[in-house]
Amino acid sequence: MTTTEKRPDRRRERTLHLLSEALLDLLKEQDYANITIQDITDKANVSRATFYLHFRDKDELLFSSMKRIYDELSKGYPAVTRSEFTLAAYDVHDARDFEHVAAHADFYRAMLGAHGSPQFIRMVRAYLENLMREDVLKPLAPPDAHLPLDFIAAFMAGAEIGVINWWLNQGGEHSPEQMAQMMARMCLGGLGWALKLPVDPNDIPT
């Protein structure tokens, strides 16, 4: 077993990385829609032709750039069990998401805003729906849930995006943990009912 399975071509990796960084950098300063490919390649010190060597368009670079972040983010979500369905558990899970958003606030503000990318919104939505469906709903749901799991996932993903949007365009008075808690409390009732979960009465806060 040799270590030389593939040669990764350092130059290529370097270029991809430079482009990725350039895009993310630019997003801190301006809206996604207004960024030209020339802007990106200028910032990355790369020829425009080189860009097209690796990506079909801006979106493809964006998605490629996001992929690793998301892989890393979603990795490490421990599965939940029905018995664990408590506010406390929910809080922990969701706080991770909000922390991620907070860490890339400029980026998300640019992408979700009025000059952002509908493609990106779609992607985030799909990501969140999938996460919810696979990691939360499927493990928890009884066979005879009150609502279609896809519906619930869409509801939750939408709500989360809505809430993130609000959070980003607001002073930043709330911590990720607070946001997660607020989310959890808004969801708990509906989720519990839809999935026929035995909601701990103590869990309903006063």
Partner DNA sequence: TCCTAAGCGAGACGGTACGTCTTGTCTTCCA
Partner DNA sequence: TGGAAGACAAGACGTACCGTCTCGCTTAGGA
Measured between alpha carbons, how far apart are the two ends of the chain, in Å? Answer: 61
20 binds DNA (CB under 7 A): no
CB of 181 to DNA, least distance (A): 41
Q: Which is nearer to DNA, 49 or 205 (CB)?
A: 49
At 54 the three-state DSSP class reads: helix
Q: Return the number of the residue (56 or 75) whose C-beta is nearest DNA.
A: 56
Please report, as a single letter, which amino acid is at residue 111.
M
Size of residue set near DNA by CB under 7 A = 24
- What distance in Å separates the CA atoms of residue 199 and residue 149, rounded to the nearest whole number? 18
36 CB-near residues (< 8 Å, 6+ apart): none
38 binds DNA (CB under 7 A): yes
Cβ–Cβ contacts within 10 Å for residue 30, how many? 12
Of positions 15, 20, 117, 181, contacts DNA by CB under 7 A: 15
49 sits near DNA (criterion: CB under 7 A)? yes
Query: What sign does the CA torsion over 186, 188, 189, 195 have?
Result: positive
Question: Minimum Å distance from CB 2 to a copy of itself?
Answer: 26
Name the token pair of 200. Answer: 């701990």
The answer to whether 126 touches 43, Cβ cutoff 8 Å, is no
User: Which region, judged by CB under 7 A, interacts with DNA, from 23-31, 40-48, 87-95, 127-135?
Assistant: 40-48
- Provide, rounded to whole angstroms, the least separation between the CB of residue 116 and DNA: 15
Residue 37 to residue 24: CA distance in whole angstroms: 13
Q: Are 160 and 180 in contact (CB under 8 A)?
A: no
| Shortest distance in whole angstroms from residue 1 CB to a copy of itself | 31
Binding site for a copy of itself (CB under 8 A): 33, 112-119, 121-122, 125, 129, 146-147, 150-163, 165-167, 170, 182-183, 185-194, 204-205
103 binds DNA (CB under 7 A): no
Give the binding site for DNA (CB under 7 A). Answer: 4, 7-12, 14-15, 36-38, 45-50, 52-54, 56-58
